Amino acid sequence: MGHTLVIVESPTKARTIRAFLPKDFKVEASMGHVRDLPNNASEIPAAHKGEKWANLGVNTAANFEPLYVVPKDKKKVVKELKDALKGADQLLLATDEDREGESISWHLLQLLSPKVPVKRMVFHEITKEAISRALEDTRELDMELVHAQETRRILDRLVGYTLSPLLWKKVAWGLSAGRVQSVAVRLLVQRERARRAFRSGSYWDLKARLEQGEGVFEAKLSHLQGERIAGGSDFDESTGGLKDGSKVRLLSEGEARQLQVQVQANPWKVGSVEEKATVRKPVPPFTTSTLQQESNRKLRLSARETMRTAQGLYERGFITYMRTDSVHLSEQAINAARSCVSEKYGKDYLSPSPRQFSTKSRNAQEAHEAIRPAGEAFRTPNGTGLDGKDLALYELIWKRTVASQMADARLTMLAVELEADGGALGPAQFRASGKRIDFAGFFRAYVEGSDDPDAALEGQELLLPALKVGDSPDCKSVEALGHQTQPPARYSEAALVKMLEKEGIGRPSTYASIIGTIVDRGYATLANNSLTPSFTAFAVTALLEEHFPDLVDTSFTARMENTLDEISHGQVQWLPYLESFFKGEKGLETQVQQREGDIDPGVSRTVELEGLPCVVRIGRFGAYLETKRVAEDGSEELLKATLPQEITPADLDGEKAELILRQKADGPESLGDDPESGEQVYLLFGQYGPYVQRGQVSDENPKPKRASLPKGAKPEDLTLEDAIALLRLPRQLGDHPEGGRVEAGLGRFGPYVVHHKGKGEKDYRSLKAEDDVLVVGLERAVELFAMPKKGRGGRTALKEIGVPEGAEEAIQLFDGPYGLYVKQGKVNASLPEGTTADTITLEQAVELLAAKAASGKAAGRKPGAKKPAAKKPAAKAPAAKDPAAKKAPATTKTGRLRASAVRVIRAADS
């Protein structure tokens, strides 16, 4: 008797499902997509090599027929799936339940050409009950979903592969454009333009500390002589002055200080007391978009990390499917959530009746239920056995789902108006606000986060003492406070996801990869949870705005998204739409051909920013300043100076530009002499930031000693002593108690300490934020070495299995998103099914790592063998680049991407 073959996407999903299926079922993984449009010339079949459209992967002359190929790394997988199908009585395609999953199933069907019955098996969680139901309720492949995915894929390829080559020619090699990506980049650029145009305004107000009985409270000045006092929202961001027509009183510093004295000396009186009852209802359970937003705000996880972690939780049976636009909860989920509320918080905290939420997202589809804990009974976070990011994200999902079935929170908002005599300035009115939580309701489980870290969470009470009209509280102190208005905040990942969804741009399931692509391509940097666009992003956005305005217009892109959804519902025909979009006089293909000759690369590589004595240009190795100056002989010459990478378009002002240009023209700034060598110590600005250098570059000294400034160090605060100390790194800290010397140094990944154990073996630890590489001592270093060494992704090893005979590095055991794995050096190997952390032996680990290394998927070095001595410590920083250096660093994007012209725009398809 044969078997039933079940195909899913990943080994983890296969492992989880296998436990819930009968013994005559065989589960295999496709490892994601098995077929796609060609990503580079080497993937194009020989029969199509000569075709002009083959690189595009879509035959635009033949009804936009896509050319699908099996990538080299998937050929083995396809062969294994075909072998597994032999002898099978039935094939179940059990890929994810969204458009992407439907598409993978269709491609599998095309490749495998099964001669046995085929059914589509769908489920939104991996539990025994869900898998049993799915087995009884199989269906046919949904070709409308497949067609919708295919049309979207073709459209994205047409945009990406048509515009990207234009950017290579006109701006810089290796750039990419994308239907959604380019709009997202423009949003970042628009916000940065607003920050650059921003003019700060200043205003003053008063804050009083008052006492009534034993209660102390604060009140802020709201009116003076009946006029409202100006606040931050009353200022024009482009002028720094009050908005036209503002009927407010702008308090000067002198008036504020005069008023401070007067109101503190005179009696106060309560003018009015207002109490207003209000109700807060719980927010709906998570969708893909809201999960990414809240995870970013509360857990500081990137969209990419959130989706990767959620994928692991789904595949191991902890949560329902994580790509969904729906806020709907099944009856099973509602019952499970209500049971959790009763058990953990009591029946008083249950909502009177089950809550159901309606999906407001336009064109909502994908999975038909919100993201929630899996199963008919929710596992409590502490009962899952999870840890780290997995536990934090599961707990967030658990709390949000449970809170959705809890009672409303009942609050009383308190407002007290107080009057004080301001002397010659007239009567002053102050306002004290408070909040009393009468019944916490769902606040007990969950309070939604905020993009503004200073905003108070709704669950916090701010009580006021019992006050009534006519009371005269004692004034304890009054402060005069000066304020500066702040520029609009840069987008966090959460804020960008929220904006994209609000505007109806792209699909929430693709936001993580889009933001990842923007950062990977150098269009933005992510620091302190803020996305800062680069000068390249400014140049590309300006080019697209001028020549292809529709493609970066939010409303046009949203309408395109609507049309794609209408195609999936059969309301719009896909072929005429693609024909009109790409062909004809106004089509993208024609527009690019016509515009290409009109676009001057010199102009498109130039970023003109107001207030600079120069222009910014995009060069082969990054952004640089360019200006004309008069040479000593009276002739005019061009002066160019590299811009440090950390300087953003909003940060670059005339003063900074002058400093960088002056240093380039006059030579580096000398901080003084090094007393040991007698050479001068210079402060320079390079592509990778400020650095210090001992001596000048010359034939006798082609590579003078250099050292980067530590992260956060300000060049203007640097002293000669600090510079000399940096140049003398690494510094000896002493001997480790277990033998071997300990040093502190500054490398490419920041400050570190290293323990030289002997025979070439070294142990590194990064210094923490509170540690100073110039003063850290031996005791602190030994303390850091005692901490467990973290593996890839910041994971801490569960345990050290041992050091194989003749090896220098230990084999460690880790728990990753796809289960347990062992690691030695750079080689990883997953543990086979049935092997646990307690049963894995050193011999088994060596065999697993050897097999992995031999497979060619890892370094060719055999696990257990001695590692070749490194030429340099892994953590050492390369010497800082000379701003005038001609050679590109080996790690520049240009160097990495030159090998294949087509490959560089793989991500443009999204």
> So which residues are the catalytic ones?
321
Residue showing tokens 């000067």: 252
Q: Which two tokens stand for residue 505?
A: 């741009």
Distance of CA 112 to the CA centre of its chain: 38
CB 877 within 8 A of CB 891: no
Neighbours of 285 (CB within 10 A): 28
What are the DSSP calls for 510-540, one per residue? Answer: GHHHHHHHHHHTTSEEEETTEEEE-HHHHHH
Largest Cα–Cα distance of the chain, in whole Å?
A: 101
Q: Which of 482, 476, 467 is nearest to 264 (CA)?
A: 476
- How far is Cα 832 from Cα 755, in angstroms, rounded to an integer? 35
CB 832 within 8 A of CB 841: no
- How far is Cα 191 from Cα 541, in angstroms, rounded to an integer? 12
CB 706 within 8 A of CB 691: yes
Distance of CA 176 to the CA centre of its chain: 19
Q: What are phi and psi of 799, to 5 degrees?
A: -165, 165
Residue type, 272: S
End-to-end CA distance of the chain: 45
Residue type, 548: F
Neighbours of 204 (CB within 10 A): 21
- How far is Cα 338 from Cα 354, in angstroms, rounded to an integer? 8
Q: What are phi and psi of 725, to 5 degrees?
A: -65, -40
Residue type, 45: P
CA distances in angstroms from 380 to 344, 441, 516, listed in the order given: 10, 19, 32
CB 717 within 8 A of CB 845: no
Q: What are phi and psi of 622, to 5 degrees?
A: 125, -170
Q: Indicate the angle between helix axes 535-547 and 181-197, nearest 10 degrees.
A: 110
What is the chain's alpha carbon radius of gyration, rounded to the nearest angstrom?
32
Q: Which of 263, 229, 214 is nearest to 418 (CA)?
A: 263
Residue type, 834: G
User: 59 forms bridges with which residues in the sheet?
Assistant: 65
Residue showing tokens 């993580």: 512
Report the DSSP pairing between strands 25-29 and 3-8. Answer: parallel
